[in-house]
Chains A and B, each alone.
Chain A
Amino acid sequence: MALPLSESHPMSATLRFFESGLQVGALLFMGVVYVVRLVWLFRFRSRRERTFPAGHEGAGVGYSLMNVAMPWAMESTRKRPWLYAQFVVFHLGVAAAIAATFIIPYRPTLFAVKPVALAFQAVMAAAFLVGVLRLVRRLREPTLRLVSSADDYLSLALMIVFFAAGVLAVPNRFRTAEWTLLLFFGLTAFFLIYVPFSKICHYLYYPLTRYYLGRTMGHRGVLPPRRQAGGPRPSADAAEARPR
């Protein structure tokens, strides 16, 4: 595939291959594995709901899918805003890094605008720090240590390295620091091949788990939560009643 770069850029053939041909090949591989994975999942039979609805399945699915953007909706995120903030930063970093893999080879002029490059670097640097915090948490918390597999550790470690490589690659200094780009695009290609077999492909499952949960809970009127109208007005709340 021809790159939309001017011939005045003295890019090495290796880097050219890393930025384009390798990525396309890896991306195709990932796409094929994802299709196989989805076919495998959809071969399991689906249940049929036979009851009268108490709510709306579509509303339940919508609410369930949007849950990711509603930290107040779940106690687990509401009570730990710090962890939710980490989640947001980490995934913004993922988005920035993925975007960079397309911007560098196909719209390099964008990163020539310094504030844009700096913004991408800042997001990925923050995600790098969050990644380190997440790794520390995974190593320190007994629960996470107990359930974590080699894949959990490697996926996180790779993401941390990927963010760092992204920070270095965004300035796109292929004349003076080609290795940063080779590292970034080499990691990207590895990710594209590795991700379908790792926990990182959870984004493929997220819509499915959320869809099925939302469909069931929507049908039953559990999700979205109904407004708390018409109930008794508590005559004393728990805090007031607590023995002193």
Chain B
Amino acid sequence: MRRKNSVPSGIVDAPLETGSQRAAVEVRIPSVLDGRLRTYDRGADNVGAFLRLLGERMTRDLAVSMTGCVHCGLCAESCHYFLSRPDDPTMTPVYKADQIRRIFKRHLDWTGRIAPWWGHAGSPGNDEDLNRLKNIVFGACSACRRCTLNCPMGVDTGLLVRFARGLLTEIGIVPEGVFNVSRDEWETGNQMAVAEEEYLDTLQWMTEELRTEMGTPDVEIPVDRPDCNVLYTINPREVKFDPRSIANAAKVFHVAGEKWTLPKWGWDQTNFGLFSGDDRLGAYVARNVYEAAERLRARRIVISECGHGYRSTRWEGYNWAGLDQKLPTESVVVTLLRYLEEGRIRVDPTRNAEPVTFHDSCNIARSGDLLEEPRRVLGRVCAEFREMDPNRRENFCCTGGGGLLSMAEYRPLRLEAAKVKADQLRATGAKLVCTMCHNCIDGLNDVIKHYRLDMRVVQVLDLVSNALVVPDVHADAGH
């Protein structure tokens, strides 16, 4: 399948086999044993399996994106990889998508079957070819969909990339980090393998901190409380590395007088199925959340600040799980905006005096619907807001999207491609870059550190919590 050419290429040559998969097979972890989590088998007919899955999983919206490209090249400059490596044509969306498209043409499109050489149709010859495809779709694309919205034909390259990832995941040809996180999600129900005890301990710790800070024993972080208005779901990163964000949410819910709860199981709104392309994993994780809401008879699912978590839980998860949506499912930023607009919380923007800019998460701005909501919140809680250029649907990826933060082998290329983001951030002159995504926090922190920018990353909830005017608890007891 590999074409003979001498163009410069930054595509990383990461190895086919990984130690994590060998270890998982050796210790016989349940998800591997029962076939939920696939591992690479050198002796299997992987090319055959890949081609079989290609046919079985093809859908109409994918097929039209496979056939619709006219090779106009207009997508090139929408991609941060290409903008940062302008002499490398293998970084363009059209090239990356063509590596998938060629296989489709050769095996499913009858014009490509009749005369494959005519339209660059091709077939993977061996596992190494599939490994190269892995290094393209996982390693050189964050599936940010910026090219999708810039394609004159409407070709959804982001969708094609996720589809190809899913086929490769099914035969175990995946980056080590993707395998590890998928394993953790299958085995523990959350992507950072947070044990229930650790989860509950962290919530207890944050409850005590909050009580001290607010000077009241009334504030709490309830778990598994039935019949609440809000079932709050979080990112495991919050438990592991940023528990303060849970406390911030609890503080706001308390002040707003909200009846809310976290579930004991099904609290992880993140979903690595989105990144690995594994719809079964996506369905499993999303279903955990929906079932928690049903079990606790919650009236609304609220998703903490997370781009891919929002997209997965609000948009994709119901489709993966085959469940019709029954409950309103919203980002906590929407909840915050409602509290502000209804006067349930009051804020003092002078407490956030430093200039703030906002980074739109790809999964929220291009694959979701929230553009103005975070800005309306920031407009109330910040003294000085500076818009990034470009912004909203045209914003550039934090460069850590698409699960790339978990794939160490592609980190140098990712940081090279981050030059565009660094320039964009620097131009704002802001001291704080706010984002409503935990993944973007880590992605942006990497960019800031690598390019030595004088700014730090915050979330909307951080700024709201900081600006929150906490009323006298006794005076407001009847709220």
* A residues neighboring B (CB under 8 Å): 40-42, 44-52, 54-55, 64, 67-68, 74-77, 79-80, 83, 87, 141-152, 197, 199, 202, 205-206, 208-210, 212-214, 216, 220-222, 225-226, 228-243
Query: Would you call A212 and B369 a contact (CB within 8 A)?
Result: no
CA distance A98 to B355 in the complex (A): 58
Name B149's closest neighbour in chain A (CB-CB): A74
| Chain B residue contacts of A55, Cβ below 8 A | 369
User: Which positions 358-395 of chain B face chain A at CB distance < 8 Å?
Assistant: 365-369, 371-372, 375-376, 378-379, 382-390, 392-394
| Chain B residue contacts of A237, Cβ below 8 A | 386-387, 389
Apart from A210-B154, A216-B61: 5 A-B pairs, beta carbons within 8 A: A142-B87, A206-B154, A231-B376, A237-B389, A241-B430
| Chain B residue contacts of A46, Cβ below 8 A | 59-61
Query: Would you call B155 and A234 a contact (CB within 8 A)?
Result: no
Query: Would you call B369 and A221 a contact (CB within 8 A)?
Result: yes
Query: Would you call A232 and B379 a contact (CB within 8 A)?
Result: yes
Contact A51-B152, Cβ < 8 Å, known A44-B60, A237-B386: no
Query: Would you call A44 and B59 a contact (CB within 8 A)?
Result: yes
Query: Would you call A147 and B98 a contact (CB within 8 A)?
Result: yes
| Chain A residue contacts of B241, Cβ below 8 A | none
Contact A222-B368, Cβ < 8 Å, known A47-B319, A74-B149, A76-B75: yes
Tally of contact residues, B, Cβ under 8 A: 83
Query: Would you call B67 and A229 a contact (CB within 8 A)?
Result: no
Name B114's closest neighbour in chain A (CB-CB): A197
Name B121's closest neighbour in chain A (CB-CB): A149
B416 beta carbon closer than 8 Å to chain A: no
Q: Can you list the 3 inter-chain pairs with the closest CB atoms, starting with the nearest? A: A241-B429, A232-B379, A231-B375
Chosen A-B contacts, 24 in total, with CB atoms closer than 8 Å, are A41-B67, A46-B60, A47-B59, A47-B60, A51-B318, A52-B325, A52-B328, A54-B369, A74-B152, A76-B150, A146-B5, A146-B90, A147-B89, A151-B119, A202-B153, A212-B156, A214-B154, A220-B369, A222-B365, A222-B369, A241-B355, A241-B429, A242-B427, A243-B429
* B residues neighboring A (CB under 8 Å): 5, 7, 58-65, 67-68, 70-71, 73-78, 82, 87, 89-90, 92, 94-95, 98, 110-111, 115, 117-120, 148-156, 314-315, 318-319, 322-325, 328-329, 355, 365-369, 371-372, 375-376, 378-379, 382-390, 392-394, 426-430
CA distance A141 to B388 in the complex (A): 31
CA distance A124 to B120 in the complex (A): 30
| Chain A residue contacts of B379, Cβ below 8 A | 230-233
| Chain A residue contacts of B324, Cβ below 8 A | 50
Query: Would you call A232 and B368 a contact (CB within 8 A)?
Result: no
Query: Would you call A202 and B76 a contact (CB within 8 A)?
Result: no
| Chain A residue contacts of B384, Cβ below 8 A | 235-236
Query: Would you call B319 and A232 a contact (CB within 8 A)?
Result: no
CA distance A145 to B77 in the complex (A): 16
Contact A205-B67, Cβ < 8 Å, known A54-B369, A74-B149: yes
B110 CB to closest chain A CB, in angstroms?
7
Contact A144-B372, Cβ < 8 Å, known A150-B118, A213-B154: no
Contact A213-B368, Cβ < 8 Å, known A143-B76, A148-B71, A208-B64: no
| Chain B residue contacts of A243, Cβ below 8 A | 426, 429
| Chain A residue contacts of B318, Cβ below 8 A | 50-51
CA distance A208 to B367 in the complex (A): 19
Contact A212-B429, Cβ < 8 Å, known A75-B78, A221-B369: no
CA distance A73 to B387 in the complex (A): 19
B395 CB to closest chain A CB, in angstroms?
11
CA distance A103 to B396 in the complex (A): 49
Residue from B92, B323, B355 within 8 A of A236 (CB atoms)? B355
CA distance A146 to B467 in the complex (A): 53
B17 CB to closest chain A CB, in angstroms?
29
A238 CB to closest chain B CB, in angstroms?
5
